[in-house]
Copies of this chain bind each other. A is one copy, B any other.
Amino acid sequence: MSRKISVRQSVMAADERHAAAIRESLRAKKVLMVNLIGSPGAGKTTLLEATLKKISTACGVIEGDVATSRDAERIAKTGTPAIQINTHGGCHLEAHLLQKALREFSVDDLDILFIENVGNLVCPAEFDLGEDFKVAVCSVPEGADKPLKYPHLFYEAGAVVLTKIDMVDYMEFDREGFWSDVTKLNPMATNFEVDSRNGIGIDGWIEVLERWLMEKQQ
């Protein structure tokens, strides 16, 4: 058991060096990096599409998925440069994979680099990719019990975005309970409700991204 843990720790430590190198490189280039994490189908790609249509700063997207390039293709249609990483079974992105992708993807002219992690509410929260902020993306149809059942991501998140808010009445979603649990886990996170398909709530989210960018570029 201890051997298993020590190998896991050494693998994570090696990956932290990759994350530190990414962080240092993006600090020098003044590029803000935002790592979106949520369940499969939480609406991460749709949130990005809605954001990229409205935001005025230069963005790029790195998409993580077990298989297919569908999400990168969706993003490319907005005119934003996008690249896909396939993990072939891996349930989260790791910094060494990201570093490899960054060799093929120029961030020099970008203001914001979005990472869309593999759809998973558990493991991606544990891995530092060198990002400035992790963002938890949760959808109304998943149910209001997710923060307490999957707390680690919420501890780590700089912002929590609740998507598909148009479904709140249909799903008998306990909105007050959801936000109360989020605040208990992480009183510092900035919280949003959005309906990405109809562009609702996107302006407030973009304002925070721009504030984060301004703080980084100062």
Interface set of A (CB-CB < 8 Å, partner B): 3-4, 7, 11, 39-41, 65-68, 70, 89-91, 118-123, 126, 139, 141-143, 145-146, 148-152, 164, 167, 170
A41-B141, A66-B149 given; 15 more Cβ-contact pairs under 8 Å: A4-B11, A7-B7, A39-B40, A39-B142, A41-B143, A41-B146, A66-B151, A67-B150, A68-B149, A70-B149, A119-B149, A119-B150, A120-B122, A139-B141, A141-B142
Residue in contact with A121 in the complex, picked from B3, B7, B40, B151, CB distance below 8 Å: B40
Q: Would you call B70 and A91 a contact (CB within 8 A)?
A: no
Least CB distance, A205 to chain B, in whole angstroms: 20
Known A-B contacts A91-B120, A139-B141; A149 and B67 likewise in contact (beta carbons under 8 Å): yes
Can you list 8 A-B contacts with CB-CB less than 8 angstroms, sorted by A residue number? A39-B119, A40-B149, A41-B146, A66-B149, A67-B148, A68-B148, A89-B126, A89-B152
Q: Would you call A152 and B66 a contact (CB within 8 A)?
A: yes
Q: Would you call B141 and A66 a contact (CB within 8 A)?
A: no
CB-nearest residue of chain B to A87: B122
CB-nearest residue of chain B to A1: B11
- Max chain B Cβ within 10 angstroms of own Cβ: one of A91, A121, A122: A122
Q: Would you call B119 and A121 a contact (CB within 8 A)?
A: yes
CB-nearest residue of chain B to A139: B141
